[in-house]
Structure 1
Amino acid sequence: MTSARLTHIDDTGQAHMVDVSEKGDTVRIATATGYVKMHAETLAMIQDGNARKGDVIATARIAGIMAAKQTASLIPLCHPLMLTKVTVDIQADEELPGLRVAALAKLKGQTGVEMEALTAVSIACLTIYDMAKAADREMEIGGIQLATKSGGKSGDFVRNQSP
């Protein structure tokens, strides 16, 4: 772990938005992952398309994409970004049991897209919970984490998957 200083706190301890105007445009990509653990019966209901609120996976995918585009409105000090790509992939995992969510956010710009990828995963997971909660209130949302990032001065990051 590195001991970098917090970029959103100035010398007097006040929070501020980082000035990125002097940074060059680079292609920046971030991926994030998370999961919603549920009863096996709930997973089967979702996979069979029998959720009362409709297509859980399609709705969660759209919610995640929309959330990535709204990150600056949701999280103080985030820059509004012109995203060029956002994807949200949701896959069943019988061993969990539940749904695994992965998001990718991309742009060519002056600041990274980690928060957009993390927001996409978070909101997709919350949407899954909302749409299936009538069947399973014991669902668990977890494991939300940055998986990779590339571009920018700080270089690339790939999460170490070892325990």
Structure 2
Amino acid sequence: MGRSPWPVLQLSHLDTQGQAHMVSMAERPSTNRQAMAEGWIRMDPQVLKRITAADAPKGDVLAVARIAAIQAAKRTWELIPLCHPLPIHGVEVWISPTARHSGLRIQASVNTHARTGVEMEALTAVQVGLLTIYDMAKALDPAMEIGGVRLLSKQGGRRGDWRHPRGDQEAVDSHPGQQGEPLPPSPS
């Protein structure tokens, strides 16, 4: 493993006594910020066919998961104790079948003009979207697996732009030791 280009910093959510606190953003300038995250859910191939055909018992799983992901991004500050409430300016969610394994990939992009980033909002959108798929299809396949949730990129802020070191070349649905299919290009 290579050394991270980002320096190891003191945890900003801990005060000098080691107690958790909410970091003040009062002195930071507002800038345009964007973050993109992804994750996957694997399932029985027959369940995937039913979901993609909008033939699941609970209805259109993909439409509900997309709305759930958007709603989760907007409410992240209510779920993660030390996150700041942010003015979310846009959320885009893409759900697509994975090419190599029977499952679905969710990617979420969140943007704002604020004093702190939207990484947690993008990650929360992906997680809640995946959990919504599980919830709506669990009667068909309770053995579904969720994984591979990661931040793909962030733009803006004090530390500038960042992209995941493995980028779009490693699929979120590959097993250890297997080569997964490349991800589609990140939406701009």
Q: TM-score, normalised by structure 1?
A: 0.97
Counterpart CA distance in 2 for 1:6 and 1:46 is 42
Superposed CA RMSD: 1.1
2:29 to 24, 27, 38: 24
Deviations 1:18-63 (A, max 9, x none): 1011111110000000000111111101111110000000000000
Alignment of 1:59-98 (within 5 A): 59-98=64-103
- Point out where structure 1 has 5 or more consecutive residues left out of the alignment: none
- Residues 35-54 of structure 1: matches in 2 within 5 Å? 35-54=40-59
TM-superposed CA distance for 1:94, in Å, is: 3.9
**1:8 alignment partner in structure 2:** 13
TM-score, normalised to structure 2's length? 0.84
The CA distance in 2 between the partners of 1:94 and 1:128, in whole Å, is 18
**Alpha-carbon contact 1:40-1:94 (below 8 Å) kept:** no
* Structure 1: 4+ residue segments shifted above 6 A: none
User: Contact 1:29–1:151 at 8 Å: present in 2 too?
Assistant: yes
Q: Secondary structure at the match of 2:88?
A: coil
Deviations 1:59-112 (A, max 9, x none): 000000000111000000100000000111100124221000000110001000
Letter in 1 for 2:68: A
Aligned ranges for residues 123-162 of structure 1 at < 5 Å? 123-161=128-166
- Structure 2 gaps of 5+ residues are 171-188
